[in-house]
Structure 1
């Protein structure tokens, strides 16, 4: 038990059941999370988690693809799934009274997939079209380059969508073997958020998942930050897309100062990033800053799209802005950032699916679920000097940098020089 509204139960085979009791809702969001994603792949099978997620809906031992869709829609329910670096998740959302049925229907999809050869060939073409669109996108291209420079040969560098050569050649037997290896009790969390009877939910999860093999946790080693830079020109692109990043602490480490630093730097139109880059200089329509925190690592990321002729000025300005934060944190900027993060926490509490995902990812990475009060207190405790030190630590490490789209000759070298001029201890 973590708070009055959240309960956690563990079945004998290691499957965990997380219930977020929200009695004011007439709906229920039910998800099955599996601790497997591109982070648990190798270059030889990169993309298999994503293919499995697609194929899980293509038929089970008792239902074909059409019946799976019809069964959900007869209840008025939404059914969906997604794959990320650290997990795969299957979702249903509908009336609270149907929560138990959702658990059984998702269990059928997760546990009883048949992955028919004919369906695999059809879905392979769909995924290859998705990949082609991804390869044409300068944003996706920049992030792939960026992740490579962050993590090198570590699996954190592998794209979720996968590699073309893998998708083109994957066989049914490989999918079945992967599911048998990765989809085990130690790596499955059944989650529900809404107005439901918790004891009934746990009993239903026991019926649906209690016989799943226990297996072993799909653990991954920490992802060390490497640093580096590259650019890729893409025909037809009119803008340059930039992704710049530095390492920050992982989820189990003290990381709240880094969250605050990202909010100070780029949250909202009055932040230094947006005020200087967009409002005062007009260098980019789109720019953002985020702190992405995972189990094996964290990333402080600055992202922007701009006309190629603005790239040099952009890097000059951003490097100076980062250096200024390492010298002093404006108290008003810190107050703004703190308020924005705390309000974001409150808004997340009003989104059941978001609450559920955060609780499950906490459980997978930390072995517990942080309460809203704990999250807010951790943010509230971050002071100006901690944030300033977070910026100083960023600038003491080699950045990872990627440019994609319409890239001018020499732009990458000039960006490196601008960043190196502000590096601390380098």
Structure 2
């Protein structure tokens, strides 16, 4: 059995309630700091849809000591720092990266960024204009595939033109205090930092004050799936997309979570059967891609393909056949060992990418709060066999938890092609 040497993780909770996760990797020449808080549409009230995304913008545009955008940007240029953010339906993440020699300054700047209440009305309106312009250029009709109705899971994380335009500065400040409380924060630091940097992080993050504002409760425990489980929809995207999704069981085991990690690799790895199926169909252009997406209890694998209809049919049919084989150990055994070994190598290589590694750990800490630690999930991947993988998938892919969703410019392709492909693949 291939042994993965996991970086030693140090976890602690500061006196103000902030959770700090440290992954020291001395051989690396960069340091990543990621901040996460439970936020997004699963915590927002309907009247303030998009306010978490609005706060993401604000916290990356100014800080407590540098409320002016230009002065704030100048501080980041001095340390050649990179900053970014993302708002998912269930958490907000701020990401920062710099060289080890600038770690002390980075920690100070991140602490200032995390403190609420430093946004001027001028900055709020400037960011509102920017967000509205972004929303105007996107497909506002998009919602998570497979989700029914207008529940929390179905709302756009960035809000709508209408909801963002009506957000009042007083609401923004109130939600800033409710969301950015150190008792709700997780900070992950990964890379080539020193012991002195750790002490500085404890001291600096420990100065963040708790808020008297009540934290917003999570408003959805599990999504309501739309029926039937094969659906079509219009999109402005150039490439048709097939979504395969499922809802994780309550208190999912490390084995179940390991199975979902393995799925995206199996579909996109160069040694996977999917590549063999399209090797001679996709010429010199990369015509298709597979990726994983996690939204609360939902897990998605989505496949984009610009192949012509007949070749796309073959691609989708092969994809569904792989799903069928994965649930039957005998069908997966022929290629499992090779794919499993490559997956373990890929995980180990990620230990040299502190930014990506910190993102994964932060997600597990917030989204799966109270669930198995990341190290246990990786250990379950390491011990995985075709039999254990099939058993885990059979727990997940039951009819009431599993769905397919096809999105294209011409959704009538679904009626003429997808049902026949499902039958040929032995799925339905």
The match for 1:232 is: 233
User: Which residue of 341, 344, 353 corresponds with 2:355?
Assistant: 353
Give the Cα–Cα distance (whole angstroms) in 1 for the partners of residues 33 and 322 of structure 2.
Answer: 44
Q: Give runs of aligned pairs for residues 371-410 of structure 1, distance below 5 A.
A: 372=375, 374-390=376-392, 392=394, 396-397=398-399, 399-407=402-410, 409=412
Q: Compute the displacement of 1:68 (Å).
A: 0.9
Segment of structure 1 superposing worse, 173-182 or 398-407: 398-407
Please say if residues 186 and 217 of structure 1, whose CA atoms lie closer than 8 Å, have aligned partners that are also in contact. no
SS at match of 1:330: helix
The match for 2:276 is: 275
User: Which residue of 31, 42, 57 corresponds with 1:39?
Assistant: 42
Q: Compute the displacement of 1:153 (Å).
A: 4.5
Q: Give runs of aligned pairs for residues 330-349 of structure 1, distance below 5 A.
A: 330-349=332-351
Q: Compute the displacement of 1:69 (Å).
A: 0.9
Segment of structure 1 superposing worse, 356-365 or 385-394: 385-394
Answering whether residue 13 of structure 2 is matched by residue 10 of structure 1, we say yes
TM-score when scaled to structure 2? Answer: 0.81
Structure 2: segments with no counterpart, 5+ residues: 1-5
Give the Cα–Cα distance (whole angstroms) in 2 for the partners of residues 212 and 221 of structure 1.
Answer: 24
Q: C-alpha offsets along residues 44-78 of structure 1, whole Å, 9 cap, x if unaligned?
A: 32221111111224445542111111112123322
Give the Cα–Cα distance (whole angstroms) in 2 for the partners of residues 370 and 387 of structure 1.
Answer: 19
Q: Compute the displacement of 1:302 (Å).
A: 3.8
Structure 1: segments with no counterpart, 5+ residues: none
TM-score when scaled to structure 1? Answer: 0.81
Answering whether residue 225 of structure 2 is matched by residue 223 of structure 1, we say no
Please say if residues 181 and 209 of structure 2, whose CA atoms lie closer than 8 Å, have aligned partners that are also in contact. no
SS at match of 1:333: helix
How many equivalent residue pairs?
410
Q: Compute the displacement of 1:22 (Å).
A: 2.5
Q: C-alpha offsets along residues 319-367 of structure 1, whole Å, 9 cap, x if unaligned?
A: 4443344343332421122112211211221111223233333333345
Change (3 A) 1:391 1:102: closer
**CA RMSD, 1 decimal:** 3.5
The match for 2:81 is: 77
Q: Compute the displacement of 1:268 (Å).
A: 1.8
Q: Give runs of aligned pairs for residues 97-116 of structure 1, distance below 5 A.
A: 97-116=101-120
Q: C-alpha offsets along residues 188-221 of structure 1, whole Å, 9 cap, x if unaligned?
A: 12332232222332122213x1455596585465
Q: Compute the displacement of 1:379 (Å).
A: 0.9
SS at match of 2:327: helix
Please say if residues 240 and 307 of structure 1, whose CA atoms lie closer than 8 Å, have aligned partners that are also in contact. no
Segment of structure 1 superposing worse, 126-135 or 180-189: 126-135
